Chains A and B, each alone.
Chain A
């Protein structure tokens, strides 16, 4: 596999991650059931005329994309690849309500236009006048890893030298209430807050001075039985000429529900003696939250330390060369992402 470098990382999240290049300046502890992202002043980033019609997710996505290119010093990438679990849920629910409330009359076409899942990818293409490869993945918690997977493949195929990759999901207003109610009906539902965010990255075939890490490999599994997890993971590492003992830190998508058992199994076995990291208590849960985990993993390799608020156990290491990111959602959509120092 051709090397694939992470040359910029940008996060709009429920933490103050957007301004500056800090690996958390301060930590915001969340107590509510839903948490909005800390939104930057979009007027400074997007043309106000365009921005007026944009929903929260589109604004977050386009802004994170623009900043990501700026940080990597790239004007137009060869490819734009986005992932979103719920798509433009804000405008979708507005349009849906209008259909129901107004008996299918007096509808606003802009809401429909902006409800399409590829709106973020399209708006980035328009903002940059980027005519290259453009793709949108919409597969729940796999959406962001699938986008990364595609970017890595494009670079491997030499179809692209640079690929802008991002995950974005907005909280919306009504759909989320039903999701929360559903979770509460479950005795072991999701505990971390529900949130939103945009995490964008510039992947490149070329290593630069500001490169964060190398994206070694990604694997995606629709379903893994709990008793097969360790074997699948060991196989993944073996395919990358690594043993579990080569992993310096593991970044886990714990969200407090019953399916955290998948993470526990690794925490109590093969990764017992290495630093274990969680992040969803800070970012909240949303389908593309693993993008925030990817932001953390990239930062960890570049900055070589783990902020205390992320650490589950109290183990630290002097060097972080291989970092594994593992996420799943309700026992489905398992993804392994391997990052390496370079």
Chain B
């Protein structure tokens, strides 16, 4: 079995905490934070339930010591906070010592700014400059600037699997020797655009979401950012770095079925998990716990469940979705769930799938609903998205 790519730092900001420790405490204490929308001026304010980060843009900008918070989209601010935490934990002094890259994933980019300035008058020369914040790469460039990364900088957008794909790409760049160190992750802020988009698709639940439950009514949206520092073995040895965990393997596949719906038999999800197992040289019975994609939409959970059954047969490991804590954080989801998987490995604990009552009849799969201590060696984390983009990553203990 190969060791994989070392993870030497991680950072996170989500509705259940502004750093790694707060997120862990919330997970262990069943503290979900899903509440009616409060910070965005919208018709849905006070109604649609979401997972919002408690800090305002002003506070986020202050935290990053920015002179004017207005220069950065919320996506960039959240990403900046999480990426800085990761770099801090990894104890990196000078970015230029090693070939360092940054890969960020986002689905909304600067949409939070665009939707407020889009209908300004053509003659409004003062506010027209915000338009430059729109494209997805802008948020990543802001994070690159905050961290001081100047060479390989990249942005990925494969809908809800974006964060996982950023991690996978980073691992590939290290494995191939292209880079010594890559900061990888994802960031997405809540926007009126996405809230209305998911609302018109009629896949938002008016209640707290209940992944893998028979009576699930859809997902809750959330906002978050999380980043990891990945480093080559050479660097880890040379610098005598502590490792948090390893990326043992990964798989990326496409469902090639429908722009938004998953196939009935979960073909894309099945292929992603299968590829991840092959890539890590692990067998399905080496997996101790699965952090599900588990969005709580009717379609995803059924399709993901079927794919899991196809991989694991009647020996399905313990599994749960953490989306009931944070909401579905879109491009950040794969990254925050990577942090949760690493925390699970470090603490030998599995986090509960909240709000679950009744199994889906076709699946009869019952997730973990309590905090359970168990010795964990390998964790599979799933991330699937619109456009059939399916990715799976296996995290292993240091």
Contact = CB atoms under 8 A, between A and B. Distances in A.
Nearest to B387: A122
A135 B168 CA distance: 11
Contacts of B135: 85-87, 138, 140, 287
A49 interface: no
Contacts of A156: 176
B253 A133 contact: yes
Contact of B387 (A118, A130, A146, A153): A118
B194 to A, nearest CB: 8
Contact of A109 (B44, B175, B201): B201
Contact of B201 (A113, A118, A131, A175): A113
A137 B156 contact: yes
A188 to B, nearest CB: 16
A117 interface: yes
A107 interface: yes
Interface string B363-398: 000000000000000000000011111000000000
A108 B176 CA distance: 44
B304 interface: no
Interface stretch (A179-187, A195-203, A248-256, A297-305): A179-187
B260 A181 contact: no
Contact of A134 (B178, B192, B253): B253
B271 interface: yes
Interface centre among B102, B144, B154, B178 (most CB of A within 10 A): B154
Interface stretch (B118-126, B232-240, B341-349): B118-126
Contacts of A86: 134-135
Interface stretch (A18-26, A59-67, A215-223, A275-283): A215-223
B98 interface: no
Measured as residues with beta carbon below 8 angstroms from the partner, the interface class of chain A is 35 or more
Contacts of B176: 153, 156-157
A71 interface: no
A72 to B, nearest CB: 20
Contacts of A116: 107, 157, 159, 386-387
Contacts of A115: 197
Contacts of B125: 185
Contacts of A338: none
A211 interface: no
A153 B172 CA distance: 8
A179 B271 CA distance: 42
B295 to A, nearest CB: 15
Nearest to A133: B252
B196 interface: yes
B167 interface: no
A135 B167 CA distance: 13
Nearest to A115: B197
Interface string B118-162: 110010010011011011111011001000011111111111000
Given A104-B192, A138-B137, A222-B149, A181 B128 contact: yes
Contacts of A113: 201, 259-260, 386
Contact of B256 (A104, A130, A181, A222): A130
B65 interface: no
A98 B135 CA distance: 20
A104 B259 contact: no
Contact of B154 (A125, A132, A139, A224): A139
Nearest to A76: B256
Given A104-B196, A117-B157, A99 B387 contact: no
A29 interface: no
Interface string A74-93: 00000010000111000011
A177 interface: yes
A271 interface: no
A153 B134 contact: no
Contact of A221 (B151, B158, B175, B259): B151
B254 A125 contact: yes
B42 interface: yes
Contacts of B144: 222-223
Contacts of B151: 220-222
A86 B126 CA distance: 23
A126 B137 contact: no
Contacts of A134: 158, 252-254, 387-389
B118 to A, nearest CB: 5
A221 B173 CA distance: 15
B157 A118 contact: yes
A115 B158 CA distance: 12
B255 interface: yes
A185 B132 CA distance: 14
A182 B123 CA distance: 11
Contacts of B122: 177-178, 181
Nearest to A141: B137
Given A80-B254, A126-B256, A129-B256, A182 B132 contact: yes
Interface in B103-118: 106-107, 109, 114-115, 118
Contacts of B173: 153
A32 interface: no
A117 B158 CA distance: 7
B152 A222 contact: yes
Contact of A96 (B115, B128, B138, B389): B115
Given A116-B159, A133-B253, A121 B128 contact: no
Contacts of A119: 259, 387
A328 interface: no
Interface string A93-115: 10111011001110111001111
Interface in B204-259: 252-259
Contacts of A108: 200
Contacts of B186: none
Contacts of A222: 102, 141, 144, 149-153
B154 A220 contact: yes
A15 interface: no
Contacts of A133: 252-254
Contact of B252 (A123, A135, A181, A332): A135
7 contacts: A85-B135, A104-B196, A105-B43, A119-B259, A126-B257, A131-B271, A142-B137
Given A118-B387, A131-B256, 11 more contacts: A86-B134, A100-B115, A104-B43, A104-B192, A109-B197, A114-B259, A121-B389, A143-B137, A178-B131, A182-B132, A222-B150
Interface of B: 42-44, 102, 106-107, 109, 114-115, 118-119, 122, 125, 128-129, 131-132, 134-138, 140-141, 144, 149-159, 165, 169, 172-173, 175-176, 178, 192-193, 196-202, 252-260, 267-268, 271, 385-389
